[in-house]
Amino acid sequence: MAEVTAALVKDLREKTGAGMMDCKKALTENGGDIEVAIDWLRKKGLAAAAKKSGRVAAEGLIGVASTSNAASMIEVNAETDFVARNETFQAFVTTAAEIALMVGEDIEAIKAAPFPGTGRTVAEELTHMVATIGENMSIRRARVLRVQHGTVATYVHSALKPGLGKIGVLVAVESTSELGALEILGRQVGMHIAATRPDALDTSAVDPAALEREKAVLTEQARASGKPDAIIEKMVEGRIRKYYEEVVLLEQVWVHDGESRVKAVVAKAGAKLTGFDRFQLGEGIEKQTGDFAAEVAAAAGVGA
């Protein structure tokens, strides 16, 4: 059983928006397990549905690269946003994305690949750059998508320069339709994904554990209405459909018109989406926060 600390209560409060005492009780009742506590609060009607927090907690850049039937995306982290504006760092991320396109998304394979024009591997070049710039850096993750016929579209939101930014999206579009039209469609889908953050391509790809968890929460909420089981079952079915519309790409409402479903837009274009991914810089990494005054005092030797 995990200790219910003030930090744990604070974390739960940030994730759910529930009151402090409710968060403390939820954690106490559920052995300090924050995920179970989230469900407990939702069943009591004290919290909204918990989405992945996606708190941006690390700096650096997302880079993308593409060829005629494939595209890659990579995240390279650094300690400060200042480094993201360094041309040497930007060039490294661009080259690392191009290397991922050639060798695949395995991080160790990317690190072991030769870095052009240096006589060093990617890992060695990263070490050299750390020594030169003076900040810790790391290659966090990479993704490569390919198609047989069609295109893998890329989209970078608020790009610092072509192919570099803080949110990147890959979209695999299979079709024998005219390539220019497919690329436009793919970019539009990429913009949609950047905005809506779907978890799955279609309903069959939804994580079964996440679906069962959602059903359990929705069932408890429906039972609170006091209605018969048959009505509760229909209520849950309706809410699961709504859940799919929130987390499944093809079931979502197309952000570009606010009416159509993504699946209808893609079908009308004579295409099929076979995969996608979305990287947001620092997503899921907890950034350390400290007392700035204390840091200054420590640096000055006060209280040492």
Instruction: Take residue 50 and report the two structure tokens written for it.
Output: 């918990």
The residue type of 165 is G
Handedness of CA 73, 77, 81, 83 (dihedral sign): negative
Tokens 């290659």 correspond to what residue? Answer: 139
Instruction: Take residue 199 and report the two structure tokens written for it.
Output: 């978890």
Contact 63, 74 (CB under 8 A): yes
Closest Cα to residue 77, out of 51, 100, 58?
A: 58
Instruction: Collect all residues with Cβ–Cβ distance below 8 Å to 83 and sequence separation of at least 6.
Output: 59, 60, 89, 133, 135, 137
Crossing angle of the two packed helices 208-223 and 229-247, in degrees rounded to 10: 140
What's the chain's Rg over C-alpha atoms? Answer: 23
3-class SS of residue 71 = strand
DSSP class of 249: G
The per-residue pLDDT for 42 is: 80
The per-residue pLDDT for 170 is: 98
Q: What angle do CA 223, 227, 228 make, to 5 degrees?
A: 100
Contact 276, 249 (CB under 8 A): yes
The model's pTM is 0.73
Rounded to the nearest 10°, the torsion over CA 202, 206, 212, 216 is -70
Domains along the chain with CATH numbers: 1-50 (1.10.8.10), 59-200+266-280 (3.30.479.20)
Taking CA atoms, 24 is separated from 15, 52, 53, 289, in Å, by 13, 21, 20, 23
The number of CA neighbours under 13 Å toward the Cβ of 37 is: 30
Nearest-angstrom CA–CA distance, 131 and 128: 5
Question: Phi, psi (5° rounding) for residue 142?
Answer: -150, 155
The residue type of 27 is L
The per-residue pLDDT for 289 is: 47
| Bridge partners, residue 146, by sequence | 70
Contact 151, 173 (CB under 8 A): yes
pLDDT in tens, the chain (304 residues): 678 888 888 888 877 777 778 888 999 999 998 888 888 888 877 765 454 333 333 799 999 999 989 999 999 999 888 889 999 999 999 999 999 999 999 999 999 999 999 999 999 999 888 888 888 889 999 999 999 999 999 999 989 999 999 999 999 999 999 999 999 999 999 999 999 999 999 999 998 988 888 888 888 888 887 878 788 888 888 888 888 999 999 999 999 999 999 999 999 999 999 999 999 998 877 555 444 445 444 544 544 3
Nearest-angstrom CA–CA distance, 137 and 79: 7
Residues in the chain: 304
The per-residue pLDDT for 49 is: 47
Nearest-angstrom CA–CA distance, 99 and 101: 5
Instruction: Take residue 148 and report the two structure tokens written for it.
Output: 């047989």
